[in-house]
Amino acid sequence: MPDIKVTPLGAGQDVGRSCILVSVGGKNIMLDCGMHMGYNDDRRFPDFSYITQNGRLTDFLDCVIISHFHLDHCGALPYMSEMVGYDGPIYMTHPTKAICPILLEDFRKITVDKKGETNFFTSQMIKDCMKKVVPLNLHQTVQVDDELEIKAYYAGHVLGAAMVLIKVGSESVVYTGDYNMTPDRHLGAAWIDKCRPDILISESTYATTIRDSKRCRERDFLKKVHETIERGGKVLIPVFALGRAQELCILLETFWYRMNLKAPIYFSTGLTEKANHYYKLFITWTNQKIRKTFVQRNMFEFKHIKAFDRSYADNPGPMVVFATPGMLHAGQSLQIFKKWAGNEKNMVIMPGYCVQGTVGHKILNGQKKLEMEGRATLEVKLQVEYMSFSAHADAKGIMQLIRMAEPRNMLLVHGEAKKMEFLKDKIEQEFSISCYMPANGETTTVTTNPSVPVDISLNLLKREMALGGPLPDPKKPRTMHGTLIMKDSSLRLVSPEQALKELGLSEHQLRFTCRVHLQDPHSDSDTLSRIYSHLKRSSHIHLYLQPTQVCFFLLL
């Protein structure tokens, strides 16, 4: 029986550094190629020596698929393709292809230009890597080679995020990347058809969480921001440049207009203009409301939100600042946090998941003293709030996707081990399917039952229905009699009459006979009548007499 093998090089019982190797039907595919936000050493990138100790990865991989532009899913791409060595195709959607190099260059600048790291990918390597990218359209089946095909589905989460169906013959795997099953203010909900894959590989960031209503979360968020502004405090919202940033900007823009508030709102980094440019360019990837109103009013052109200058952090009085990156692990958000952390009037609102090892993760776990670079200790006096505006599916959403796709097996990645364990038990209980959660470097092997698709003629179906009996139940198999024709590598089930006609044959009968020798002292006629009395019930027995022996023929 054929097997599908899945090995996480990153995101196995962990969040960050997503990189999953899948071997299906003799093809090897790498799903995502990310970096880990919590590390600054070798553990930052996946360990590609698992694939090959020496030599280029091209000889071992048929293709690489990137689900979306977040760095924990694409941050190691130039390192993998240009420094380790990969010349094959890299597949991603059009928005991901446009935004990915901008975030990679931003990441490179922080790491090399500001932190002075060596042995890192260059700007030229990012450009060379992007030349290998083949863009994907939603619902378009792409033939990677004669046997391997892939198809992208809308995943919500961020602009251009996609789930991918991978097929080799009758075997198939779906990889979700990150996805969101509820629509928000600027993106639609994830969707996939009933493709019944052999394995569904799903993220499980919020494996044990069932989020409260979005409206409640938005009301709480606006209330906390408003209260801090009213008492003269400053609000820091660490975000990644694209995604939750736009969601929360739309929310605050509407609230500021409704309440006629005057406190300034700023957005750090020059990525805002670029982000809005890409939202305009890929407006078809946003939700229905934004697409409908886009001609009259572009939701991404904000009147109350201005570009942030680093000197504004020292200005007196209340303000709201969106700063990147989202987990306070580096960059401008961390610089502002250091300046504002000592004042209890101020507030930091963490709107999404924070990876272990980041400053964001530490303060959410109640740490009041932080050791910063250069052994300086930072005292945290400002208020810390966590409000999940993260665009990941919660436990309810993951179950919803399983009902949609109807997989034969389930495999969880991109989550914490304890939470995964809980969700794994829940999935196995509710859907009666096997669920796996391999750690990094651990291989899960799933044996598949290959199915051979057969077309059936309408005449044969009609004839079977005409025979009467109960109506067919889709969940119960029903026996059908027909003739199987194999032609041009396809199979068809037709009635015997149609098969004879297509093959140019006339109907004929085969007669099977059996000769039995009997030794009997009685006369031939006595022996014959005794045998005949035993067999006379069957009309299919033909007997005839020869001078020296008795013979009978059985017609089958």
Residues 6+ apart with CB under 8 A from 537: none
* Residue 478 token pair: 């029903």
- A 10 A CB-CB count for 152 gives 24
* Residues in a beta bridge with 22: 6, 29
What whole-number distance in Å separates Cα of residue 129 and Cα of residue 492? 45
Residue 513: CA atoms inside 13 Å, Cβ hemisphere, count?
8
Residue 267: CA atoms inside 13 Å, Cβ hemisphere, count?
28
8-state DSSP, 314 = G
Active-site hit among 203, 218, 385, 464: 203
Q: Residue for token digits 């890299």?
A: 90
Cβ contact 132:88 at 8 Å:
yes
Residues 6+ apart with CB under 8 A from 471: none
Q: How far is CA 18 from the centre of its chain?
A: 11
Q: Where are the alpha helices (DSSP H) in 467-523?
A: 496-503
* Residue 92 token pair: 């991603």
Cβ contact 415:15 at 8 Å:
yes
What whole-number distance in Å separates Cα of residue 42 and Cα of residue 7? 19
CA dihedral 289, 291, 292, 296 (to 10 degrees): 110
DSSP 47-84: -GGGT-SSS-GGGT-SEEE---S-HHHHTTHHIIIIII
Q: Max CA-CA distance within the chain?
A: 128
Three-state DSSP class for 175? strand
Residue 295 host element (H or E): none
Torsion-angle region of residue 312: left (phi > 0), alpha (psi -120 to 50) or beta?
Answer: alpha
Is 344 designated active site?
A: no
What whole-number distance in Å separates Cα of residue 35 and Cα of residue 70? 9
* Residues in a beta bridge with 550: 545
What whole-number distance in Å separates Cα of residue 416 and Cα of residue 374? 31
Residues 6+ apart with CB under 8 A from 285: 95, 154, 159, 160, 187
Active site residues: 203
